[in-house]
A and B are shown apart, each in its own frame.
Chain A
Amino acid sequence: MSKLVVKSLTRRFGGLVAVDNLDFELGNGEIVGIIGPNGAGKTTLINLISGICMPTSGSILFDDKDITLTPAHIRSRMGIGRTFQLIHPLENLSLIENIMTGFLFSQGENKKKARLRAEDLCALMNLTDTGREISQLNILEMKKMEIAHALATGPSILFLDEVMAGLNSDETKEIIKIAKKIASSHNMAIGVVEHVMGVIKELTERVIVLDSGKLIAKGVYEEVSKDPKVITAYLGGAA
């Protein structure tokens, strides 16, 4: 049984079709790569699934329930978590308080419990000095906070939108390690959007490829990367 089923999902922005009649499934505990050139519609797909943006047509099922019209905060409580490609930390809250919000509102913990669990999560992510203001964090810490914030909502599926972007290779390795740890310990399904193909190869079991909002290929990375359609899409995107 699939955890998440996306059926003929379409989202238009004026004349532009950002996600075009897309079908996509995510199984329990599986890690899937979502790749495609810039503007392919990857972030829009995550926005649609997390309820930040509503589809023009099509439907989304989560645990067999139709959530197409469910508001974002309810989806977060149901177990759909996500990070943001452009990180917008809550700048008037400290590092730990940012992470606490997920425990407080998605998981309905009280303040004390939320703080304890957020501290545990920080320890897992190797985030220290958790009372710091956001302005004092470096980029790696910001990315870790972004992941921790998503984890704090208690997701059973998690979308990571280019969390490695802007990190060096050591930092990337650290995040990959964390992602693997999370996936195995929580039996969480993860959708990974990433431009660095090394990360996709290392982390995911299969990939889907989007181009201009359409799904153009799916399967294991090694095969998909040889698909002529995929090669043209990337070359076309680069040209």
Chain B
Amino acid sequence: MFELFAQSDAAGGFGQYLLLGLVLGSLYALIALGYTMVYGIIELINFAHGDLFMLGSFFALGLAVWPMDVVTADAPTAAIGATVLLMLVLTPLGCAGLNVLTDRVIYKPLRTSPKLTVIVSAIGVSFIFMNVGLFWRGATPIKFPDLISDANLIPGTGLRFTWKDLMVVAVTVPTMIALTVFVKFTALGKAMRATAQNPAAAQLVGINADRVIAATFAIGGALAGVAAVVYGLYIKSVDYQMGFQNGLYAFTAAVLGGIGNIPGAVLGGLVIGVVGELGKAYLGAKWSEALIFGILIVILLFRPTGLLGARTREKV
């Protein structure tokens, strides 16, 4: 009995960590989608994707200052709303453009080269982006404007779910739904899946692989841009190395879910978010990462294709 009472607080704690894990997980999922979509189509692990996310957050930071100088939550609500909206429109556009440009200039000429060549170039691009970030904003972490309230939306439940948490959910969930609808039902979405599954047959039916690949980089980049804005507003601190760690988590999420698989990336992101938070809470921050990668290794031992990877085997 005593045990139970003693646990009741921790149970609330558990719910809280779960909630936080899901919020962070949906962020990882957004980034993971960029890895998984590009991998699905050209089998490239785009190591620069995390750093694109970092550059996106730096860009969003600039937008807080530039048109309206909204850098604190004291600014008028309308100004904050407009600024956040502007970030959510321009940052994805910028990231999409940069991603497409990178593909056009660096990966596309290597399309017929050995896979390893392209991956090494992606690592190179990652370093270039990181150094651009370093040059742009310096080495010390920068405060991202704290624009969204920390007021609890569900008081009296023993849980905390703030406006910030709501913002993350309100941005990431519709984005992922839109992406799913796009990939499942539009001509371009179907063409993307067709190209990923059989590039030669896709050409035979008249799909222009170059355009499909460009569209994939654009969408992956845009998702990284959305994630960058949400991350900045939520975590309130950005630095030039944030792309590395978050990119690694997101990449892990993509592999965990089955790289190349879109629902898999979302599932993987949520799993990593939750496991990471629970690990931090119950095992301590220093064990959290070990736990994440431990789980990754165990899952890959039993399901080498990831949680949702390759549900239908190709009969070759």
Physical interaction between A and B: no
